Amino acid sequence: MSYDAYFIVTGGAGLIGSNLIEELNQRGHYKILIVDHLGSSEKWKNLTRLRFLDYIEKDTFIKSILKGRTLIGSPDFKYANFIHLGACSSTTETNASYLIENNFHYTKILCEYAIQQGMRFLYASSAATYGLGEFGYSEDNLESLKPLNMYGYSKHLFDLYAHRRGLFDKIIGVKYFNVFGYGEAHKGDMRSVVLKGYEQIKNTGKLSLFKSYHPNYKDGEQKRDFLYVKDAVKMTLHLLNLETIYEEGGLYNIGRGIAETWLDLAHALFKAMGKEPNIEFIDMPDYLKPKYQYYTCADMSRFLSTGYSRPFTSLEEAIQDYVNLLEKEV
């Protein structure tokens, strides 16, 4: 990417979006249009550390596109890199109509617009599309997947849409696995266990984890592919940087390919905070039991075949870095 490149980043005030823009700033990119919905949350605070050209609320943005208006007064802007990270990411959201409109139809409109304007288009899918993982965690199993919640299904719908219409010849999709890091405080109940646990340990001296209701997993030994947000954004920009990958497009897992337990995370968190582990196991809410993923682990072979060579941040190193950033806020 040249240093006069333009970027549109939807969800730019969110966890991944704000960290991605911060990384772009560090690489010398400032011609950035941020699109988001700030509402009454504290998400706006993520914008204060960023440099960008303009900010537009998502409703204004989509209306401008549908009316064919110019987004920024530059003839070069139509050649922007379009990074679509904006979505309702609540795995407990029950308003299916809202999720379809916000996560599926909105993405279709933006994708069509980007293609028409000659932009590179990269969008965020999710590991939630894999459901229980009974069909594995390879990007090739799209038609077989059965997401466990409506959020995952809304993401899966666009993956299927792009696949069935041959759009992956032109666009890039990324399936993020359990991303955590600085900039997620606004997410409420959707904050990572790292941040929830940090606050809980600060306030009570202990950490609560859900009991296991699966015979193959003991309490705390449910596994996730945890990914530090700093790695997630570098991996995302790696795909956007590769002209050959853009020309071919494709759907890529964004994880580490390593499954670690909640106990691994908990012990790393206590260590980072300089405290002895004090863990209790609590009942899982009934509504969550049938939708709970006991294991996730990205198949990283497709992504690694693109030549990505940066080392991944270990879970322990990532949590220590995250805690250091949180402590600076105090």
What is the average pLDDT value for the chain, to the nearest integer? 91
Quick one: pLDDT at residue 68?
74
Amino acid letter, 26: Q
Quick one: pLDDT at residue 245?
43
The pLDDT tens digits of the residues spanning 212-238 come to: 999 999 999 999 999 999 999 999 999
Q: Report the alpha-carbon distance of residue 123 to residue 131 in Å, rounded.
A: 20
Angle CA 48–102–46, to nearest 5: 10
Is 65 within 8 Å of 110 (Cβ atoms)?
yes
CB proximity list for 210: less than 8 A, separation 6 or greater? 222, 262, 281, 282, 283, 284, 288, 292
The pLDDT tens digits of the residues spanning 232-279 come to: 999 999 998 754 444 568 999 999 999 999 999 999 999 999 999 999
Taking residues 138-143, report their average pLDDT.
93
CB proximity list for 208: less than 8 A, separation 6 or greater? 200, 279, 280, 281, 282
Is 269 within 8 Å of 314 (Cβ atoms)?
no
H/E stretch holding 154 reads helix 150-164
Q: Report the alpha-carbon distance of residue 153 to residue 162 in Å, rounded.
A: 14
pTM: 0.93
H/E stretch holding 244 reads helix 243-248
Residues annotated as catalytic (active site), given as ranges: 151, 187
The upper half-sphere exposure of residue 185, i.e. CA atoms within 13 Å in the direction of its Cβ, equals 15
Residue 90: which pLDDT band, with cuts at 50, 70 and 90? confident
Q: What domains are defined for the chain? A: 7-180+226-256 (3.40.50.720)
